[in-house]
Amino acid sequence: MDPAVSVRPWSATPGRLSEGPRWSEEHAKLLWVDVLGCMFHRASVAPNGTMRDLSSTTLDRHVGAVAPAAGGGYVLAAGAGFLGLSDSGEIYELAQPEAGRSDVRMNDGACDALGRFWAGTMAYDQSPGAGTLYRLELDGTCTTVLKGLTISNGIGWSPDGTTMYLADSGTGDVDAFDFDLQSGEVADRRTLVHFDAPGVVPDGLTTDEAGGIWIALWGGGAVQQYAPDGRLLATIPLPVERPTSCAFGGPECLALFVTTARDGLDEDALARQRDAGRVLRVDGIGVRGTPCETYRGEIMAH
């Protein structure tokens, strides 16, 4: 690791399965979730880079991803579908594409440049092919984009918006697609990176403004940067085994925030990884990211 790069714990209280960091420029806050803790967190960055002003919301179901909404509040991928959360705390049921099912749940997600919210599912038993990628449209309807995924995970777009990236933790693949922003259609699916080391899978991902793809390696104890052609550019070792996702944030989007997990680790592993479950902050990378896109639809019930 470059000696200029530093890694430090950022959040105070570890989550069971902290996930889905997103930097909201409008709120000047980092947003993230604790999937199994059924929590949504947001916090701002103090001038010295530490966390401050933490606020949290507890939900009645597992929550996989969050994005800010343009009109205020937030949209969440949780349980069997999508929820709206107002700034005052009211929760609204939006599209529920997996309604009535208890064997699957929503997982990671993000908004595209038009403000549509994409999120995928996984089976609790991680059954192959049981996951689906959905798109929550601006009118509140839900479109099925891809079927046959196993653990639909990190999703992101190239800076010019012409390529979409999607990780499937079940297959070990990070795929690239041609992306049409106006229609939301994806085409020409190809595998950008495949991970086959035992126990190491791609989890959440983000992109930097130069087009690099940053992938959290669950079980690999690192975040890696890849070029758009799939070449490995950099590896940042972390003090925890199970990073779950990453996002650039802070006032100039120069810091990389990495969510991590402690769920499933035994006492010995937790003793070695005291920061497991916390959000980590990585500085000195030398590249800049961009804030997350906002959901531009209505978060109230339709």
For 94, the domain range is 6-193+200-283
How high is the pLDDT of residue 3?
Answer: 77
List strands edge to edge, sheet with 39-45: 18-24, 29-34, 39-45, 51-58
Condensed to tens digits (0 to 9), the pLDDT of residues 93-150 reads 999 999 999 999 999 999 999 999 999 999 999 999 999 999 999 999 999 999 999 9
Please indicate, yes or no, if residue 300 is contained in any of the structural domains: no
Taking phi over 0 as left and psi of -120 to 50 as alpha, with beta for the rest, 286 belongs to left
Q: Which residues pair with 39 in a beta bridge?
A: 34, 58
In a domain, 82, yes or no: yes
Q: Is the pLDDT of residue 280 over 70?
A: yes
Active site residue 139: no
Residue 1 has pLDDT above 70, yes or no: no
Tell me, yes or no, whether 295 lies in a domain.
no
Mode of pairing for the β-strands spanning 213-218 and 201-207: antiparallel
* CATH code: domain of residue 74: 2.120.10.30
* φ, ψ of residue 85 in degrees (nearest 5): -130, 120
Taking a C-beta distance cutoff of 8 angstroms, is the pair 79, 94 a contact?
A: no
Q: Could you give the number of structural domains in the chain? A: 1
At 57-94, the pLDDT tens digits run 999 999 999 999 998 999 999 999 999 999 999 999 99
Strand order in the sheet with 201-207: 201-207, 213-218, 222-226, 232-237
Write down the mean pLDDT value for the chain: 96
Q: Residue 2 — very low, low, confident or very high, per pLDDT cuts 50/70/90?
A: confident
The whole-model pTM stands at 0.97
Identify whether 302 is part of a domain.
no
**Residue 175 within a domain:** yes
Instruction: Say which of 34, 168, 203, 275 is annotated catalytic.
Output: 203
The region, left, alpha or beta by phi > 0 then psi within -120 to 50, assigned to residue 12 is: alpha
Using an 8 Å Cβ cutoff, are 146 and 131 in contact? no
Assign 287 a pLDDT band (cuts: 50, 70, 90): very high
- Per-residue pLDDT, 300: 84
Q: Does 225 have pLDDT greater than 60?
A: yes
Q: What is the mean pLDDT of residues 3-24?
A: 95
Asked if the structure places residue 124 within a domain, the reply is: yes
